[in-house]
Amino acid sequence: MARQQPAGPPPAPIVQRLTIRYAKRGRMRFASHRDVARAIERGVRKAGVPVAYSAGFSPHPKISYVGGAPTGAASEAEYLEISLTQRCEPAEVGRVLDGALPDGIDVIEVAEVDGKLATAQLAASEWEVVWPGVAADAAARAAEVFLAAPSAEVERLTSKGLRRVDARAAVVSLSVERRGEAGSASECAILRMIVRQMTPAVRPEDILAALRQASSLAPSAPPVVTRLSQGPLAEAAEVTAGPGSAPAGSGEPGSGPAPSVGQTARPSTDKAMCLTAGNAMVASAVQARANEQLSRGTRDRLADPRAREPYGRDCPDARNRATESTTQFQRSTDWTRFGPQ
Amino acid sequence: MSVQSVYSSLETLLPLVRKPVQYVGGELNSVVKDWDSAEVRWALMYPDAYEVGVPNQGVQILYEVLNEREGVLAERTYSVWPDLEQLMREHGVPQFTVDAHRPVRAFDVLGVSFATELGYTNLLTALDLAAIPLSAADRTLDDPVVLAGGHAAFNPEPIAEFIDGAVLGDGEQAVLAITDQVRAWKRDGRPGGRDGLLLALATRCGVYVPRFYDVSYRPDGAIAAVVPNRPGVPRSVAKHTVTDLDSWPYPSKPLVPVAESVHERFSVEIFRGCTRGCRFCQAGMITRPVRERSITTIGEMAERGLAASGFTEVGLLSLSSADHSEIDQIATDLADRYEGTNTGLSLPSTRVDAFNITLANELSRNGRRSGLTFAPEGGTDRIRKVINKMVTEEDLISTVSTAYANGWRQVKLYFMCGLPTETDEDVLAIARVAHRVIEAGRKASGRRDIRCTVSIGGFVPKPHTPFQWAAQCDYQTVDARLKALGAAMRADRGYGSSIGFRYHDGQPSMVEGLLSRGDRRVAKVIRAVWEAGGRFDGWSEYFSYELWESCAATALADDGVDLAWYTTRERPYSEVLPWDHLDAGLDRDWLWGDWQAAIGASGAEEVEDCRWTPCFECGVCPAMGTQIETGPTGARLLPLTVLGRTPAPGAEQSGDEVLAVVGASAVRGGAGSGERA
């Protein structure tokens, strides 16, 4: 049957696109990327940012998220792209949005995307892993074995069952430092690694699993993983991935090879370049692929709330029955708290 | 003595559990106050999973009311799932609050809100994880005072052993009175110890303290008497009623969780109480009289709540929202205000006879018309008369026809099974109703893709209702009727795919029945079930009927009563009910008369709603000194002034506009869109 179209004018056109770099810090590292997306959509509304909406019966805000850090991992370099119906000063958008987000989901930088969407991919991430109870020397030896191997298959339990991935294939570089006194109870191995974006994705935890396969490491607590930066991967970076490039755990901070991808020049063709990652890498652009899947996913309620509710909900006293008639008003968006000046 | 956060030890466990974000707090609008400068500290608990508990209005209201006070601190705690519970036990991490991850035992008061009795085992888990003795009698000055609230607190006898007190009715003023009492007691050097504080709460704050009442039993197992054992303690404890809801506009800063929750919306309670008089409905009986919020306050709360949260939906909450005296105006004016902002409106509870298509159109202006929900509760006019749900089948058919004709595609219908006097025919009739709904809908809409979902749950008799004396239907009968109904639904292939059928089996209702109308002896069953691993009884994946059944049989053996005695036995007028000393304001003889009217030999008699007919003397208003508070006020919601709606000419082209944020909330008033803050 013909699908009905909502009455009223179509949504306001997009006049500006912004790329936002944000962090997931502290206890917010336990948020999933759906949680983060939901928080950001609410923050955008709360801050009064004039976000564009899709057309249709249940309009979605036009926000695209690029490969979010996994649940449990912190990040200093998450990216999203947002489409606006009114032109705004990027820095001001960053300020008001940051104020409307929960502590720990923090806006770092906002820049305008000029003209067509940026095409360069965020091809790799730099990760830091704090691994409690693991001796740096032992971790360095494991890294050496791992890097020397042609491949390192590990298994991960996903929602679709057990998956096998080659952890080695994704690793561009890997170095180990020591925190705390060697041999003491407080000793931690600090790993720094540059990991390629791949399909299926290789996560830092996969690499740690591979390291544990390579040698017996006994962490005293789960690792604390932080994404430090994201950006394109320069060809030059590949050379650091060779065997033997893992430094011994000397305990000297920075004794590992600087992630050479960091020195990658911005592609001169990239006019939309707007974000400079503070760390070693340059995010010259944001993946153009709009992550529609994710943006829709954040709108889904728990598949069917009633189905999952306690029995009490159906008893005569729990008359808080599920929503009957929910709808969206969707004429042209106008904004009460954003002025032109 | 300062209190340390347990977060650092919890943090290492979180990577190992499902949905760790539910344990980290950090919700927008959550509050962390300084521990040392607070004199009275409350831990508020909703004894279910975070995703169910965090949207709870009661907890959010009390959290805000308490935290607004100088020198008072309130934090929240929820039930942890068994995966984390096990890790917390292994690593010695105590029950914690999500706000500042402080150990629950360090607080002065632990207030637990029971929307359903199925949270009782979760209370024990939380107490045990907190290292608070399960029995109130074993607690010391180092343990918090454990108070129960919520609807289940109207018969807290099954958990009397585990709680220090219960607060019946509205909590807003009661928590402040309790706070003042706790503060005075602490300042005075804790006179009389724990007992002294509880006596003060019982005599001055209207708190029911079970230990101050002795219960004796007759040889046949029924209660002989409930008698106060302290001077000054009232024979009967009255519920608390907040009047003038406009002066309590909470929540104003709704908690916005990062984790997904069951209600992702800002809810405004548009009125409290209901006098429709449905005989099965405990909520409608214990929350009388009806007290409306004015349209003006509702508008202000919606505006403030949306601005503070970023939610995209406003829920107009109450026991029967379409009954608000100005509901049409509220829906129209809110729809006008939020038009073009992608803000949805929802009405969580609609009566067939109060629903009108104008209202429905306002609620879905320009939007989806996906589903409407009605609760006829019974399949025949006869059974609906018994339960005093005065909706005829013709009303229902005409209402749904109008809805289908106006573009709705789906209607959900809620029913109950196991009602007093119910026959197989009453339940089978539901299939006929569903078929008629589909037929009427196809005719009215001219389409075949319309749907109807029938959802049905088991009836549980509840305290303080006319059905409090009724025999609960055994689960075998309920299951057999539901099975027959399912077959009848599918019998006619012409409707098969248009009708959805969802039901719960009868066993959980038996346990709910035991816990609802139980007395103090039931505590032994709860404890035994909990010790055997019973958790999250409201969740089908955790609930075990066999466990409850066997624990009930063992624990009650010496008392000469059993599960059936508590559930499927009809009570006589003369029997002392476990909650007779707890006063919801309802006249016991009026309830009995209404019960007799329901089951009268010559057919049930109906009772009207006292909002539009004369008082029928249920007794609440004179007993509680309250009165009906309804509109209409005649007020309207003025449009929110739209600031900066029209960009300055040329601004689009100049490329150097500066973003202007004009205040946290838009200026209200009638001056139109030119006005600026």
A93 touches chain B (CB under 8 A): yes
**Whether B317 and B333 share a structural domain:** yes
**Which CATH number applies to A16-118+288-297: 3.30.70.580, 3.40.640.10, 3.30.460.10, 3.10.450.50?**
3.30.70.580
Answer yes or no: is B35 within a domain: yes
- Domain that residue B298 falls in: 265-367+607-637
**Whether B215 and B271 share a structural domain:** no
Percentage of residues in chain B with pLDDT exceeding 70? 94
Q: Do A339 and B264 touch (CB under 8 A)?
A: no
Sorted by sequence, the CB contacts under 8 Å of residue B294 that are 6+ apart come out as B246, B631, B633, B635
**Whether B170 and B316 share a structural domain:** no
**What is the per-residue pLDDT across B123-151, written as a single tens digit (0 to 9) for each?**
999 999 999 999 999 999 999 999 999 99
**Whether B618 and B663 share a structural domain:** no
The ipTM is 0.89
In contact, A295 and A64? CB cutoff 8 Å: yes
A14 touches chain B (CB under 8 A): no
- Report the residue from B25, B311, B652 with minimal CB separation from A42: B311
CA distance B331 to chain A (A): 12
Confidence label for B366 from pLDDT (cuts 50, 70 and 90): low
Mean pLDDT of chain A: 71
Q: What is the rounded end-to-end Cα distance, in angstroms, of chain A?
A: 47
**Whether B46 and B114 share a structural domain:** yes
**Whether B52 and B187 share a structural domain:** yes
Q: Which of A178-187, A290-299, B170-179, B506-515 has the lowest mean pLDDT?
A: A290-299
Select the highest-mean-pLDDT range: A110-114, A170-174, A333-337, B370-374.
A170-174
Residues of A with Cβ-Cβ distance to B375 under 8 angstroms? 319, 321
**What is the per-residue pLDDT across B427-444, written as a single tens digit (0 to 9) for each?**
999 999 999 999 999 999
Size of interface A-B (CB pairs under 8 A): 295
**Whether B650 and B621 share a structural domain:** no
Answer yes or no: is B384 within a domain: no
**Whether B21 and B147 share a structural domain:** yes
Residues of A with Cβ-Cβ distance to B652 under 8 angstroms? 15, 87
A48 to chain B: closest CA residue: B661
Burial of B494 from C-beta contacts in 10 A (0-12 / 13-18 / 19+):
exposed
Q: What would you measure as the largest C-alpha separation in chain A, in angstroms?
A: 71
Instruction: Report how many domains make up chain B.
Output: 3
B368 to chain A: closest CA residue: A327
User: What are the start-end ranges of the H helices in chain A?
Assistant: 33-47, 90-100, 136-148, 167-170, 204-214, 292-297, 305-308
Answer yes or no: is B509 within a domain: no
Percentage of residues in chain B with pLDDT exceeding 90? 82
| Residue-level pLDDT at A130 | 96
Q: Which of A37-51, A294-308, B154-168, B298-312 has the lowest mean pLDDT?
A: A294-308
Q: How far apart are CA B159 and CA A115, in angstroms?
A: 66
**What is the per-residue pLDDT across A227-265, written as a single tens digit (0 to 9) for each?**
999 988 865 444 333 333 333 333 333 333 333 333 333
**Whether B290 and B164 share a structural domain:** no
**Whether B84 and B125 share a structural domain:** yes
Q: Please report, for the domain that includes residue B115, its CATH number.
A: 3.40.50.2300
The residue among B675 and A17 whose pLDDT is bigger is A17
**What is the per-residue pLDDT across B186-233, written as a single tens digit (0 to 9) for each?**
999 999 999 999 999 999 999 999 999 999 999 999 999 999 999 999
Q: At what angle do helices B507-516 and B475-491 cross, to 10 degrees?
A: 140
Query: What single DSSP character describes residue B117?
Result: G
Q: Do A71 and B642 touch (CB under 8 A)?
A: no
Answer yes or no: is B486 within a domain: no
* Amino acid found at B310: G
Residues of A with Cβ-Cβ distance to B505 under 8 angstroms? none
| Residue-level pLDDT at A11 | 83
**Whether B271 and B221 share a structural domain:** no
Q: Look at residue A30 and tell me whether its pLDDT is greater than 60.
A: yes
Adjacency order of strands within the sheet including B410-417: B371-377, B410-417, B451-458, B499-503
- Report the residue from A28, A59, A319 with minimal CB separation from B349: A319
Residues of A with Cβ-Cβ distance to B370 under 8 angstroms? 325-326
- What average pLDDT score do residues A11-24 get? 93
In contact, B42 and B107? CB cutoff 8 Å: yes
* Amino acid found at B420: P
